[in-house]
Amino acid sequence: MDKEIKPNTVYTTAETQELLKISSSTIKRLLKRGLIKANKVGGQYRILGKEILHLVSPGIEQEATKSYLELKKKVVNKINQW
């Protein structure tokens, strides 16, 4: 059974490797090239789920941003009418 990648969950490199089904050398290469954004905590990388999702499906993030901006525009227009 495949695991769901949750956008706001923090993953270790080992968990990310398992989710993406990639080797340790590949995860290191992705981190080094900046293809996956991560933060170092206590000498180990921590990767936010949304960064993993962006890597495997960048279109989802673009659609979410587009929807947010459209909604924001409607709200601002409504407020400006008051």
CA distance 80 to 61: 28
CA distance 26 to 34: 12
Residue keyed to tokens 């499906």: 57
- Domain residue spans in the chain? 10-81
Question: Quick one: tokens of 33?
Answer: 């090239």
3-state secondary structure of 36: coil
**Stated pTM of the model:** 0.65
**What is 10-81's CATH topology?**
Multidrug-efflux Transporter Regulator; Chain: A; Domain 2 (1.10.1660)
CA distance 31 to 25: 10
Q: In this predicted structure, what is the pLDDT of residue 18? A: 93
Which of 20, 15, 47 is closest to 34 using CA atoms? 47
Q: What is the pLDDT along the chain (82 residues), one digit of tens a residue?
A: 467 888 899 999 999 999 999 999 999 999 998 889 999 999 999 999 999 988 887 676 677 677 778 888 889 998 988 8
